[in-house]
Chains A and B, each alone.
Chain A
């Protein structure tokens, strides 16, 4: 059983650019959530995807968007990058209807915006 993987591990972008982060869910999981963890803070919920549809969104602007693919992998896209977007981006997968409500986190992608 493979765990949650994310790519790339580190990324440096310039303000105004666009970025795509990728996540592969744990085998058998059908739901993926994305979180932003700023330095010294707890993770904040960005959005969740279930069966390729957005299934809940936190307090993030529309320039944060996502996709979930039939194999349950996922992308997080951020347009018009701002300096405050610098953070660790965490992906978590889970199995809805399992009743466990456990989310399994990947190692994260560290994004630096200069």
Chain B
């Protein structure tokens, strides 16, 4: 079985500050991991994915995440927050070879000018 825990339902950062959104996963098989972003009244957009290749994954809009098996973590980071980064972020896991996603409860990112 797969599951995801996102620590912190709300995160606030100043514009230009580091963004760190935490995700820990549980999986009985090797996982694939994803981060999605959701803007108000919109669907989900894929930011990045880990599918058992490089452990440091770079995505769109300057985001990246590192897969750490020993810590069962896949935290999302961005060196410098922009106002446009304000949104809801979801971490998701699937079993390797499977095609259904298990999502966390999300983290709402607020960027303070």
Contact = CB atoms under 8 A, between A and B. Distances in A.
A90 B99 contact: no
16 contacts: A4-B43, A31-B99, A41-B106, A44-B103, A45-B101, A45-B102, A48-B99, A56-B100, A90-B44, A92-B44, A101-B51, A101-B94, A102-B49, A103-B46, A103-B99, A108-B43
A4 B45 CA distance: 12
Contact of B99 (A35, A56, A104): A56
B67 interface: no
A58 interface: yes
Across the A-B interface, give the 6 residue pairs with the lowest CB-CB distance, nearest first: A42-B103, A105-B43, A105-B44, A107-B43, A45-B100, A43-B103
A55 B44 CA distance: 22
A43 B101 contact: yes
Interface residues of A, number: 27
A85 B69 CA distance: 36
Interface residues of B, number: 23
Interface of B: 4, 32, 36, 41-46, 49, 51, 90, 92, 94, 98-106
Contacts of B51: 100-101
Interface string A44-77: 1100100000011010000000000000000000
Nearest to A45: B100
Q: By CB atoms of chain B within 10 A, which of A55, A56, A94, A105 has the most?
A: A105
A40 B100 CA distance: 21
A35 B94 CA distance: 14
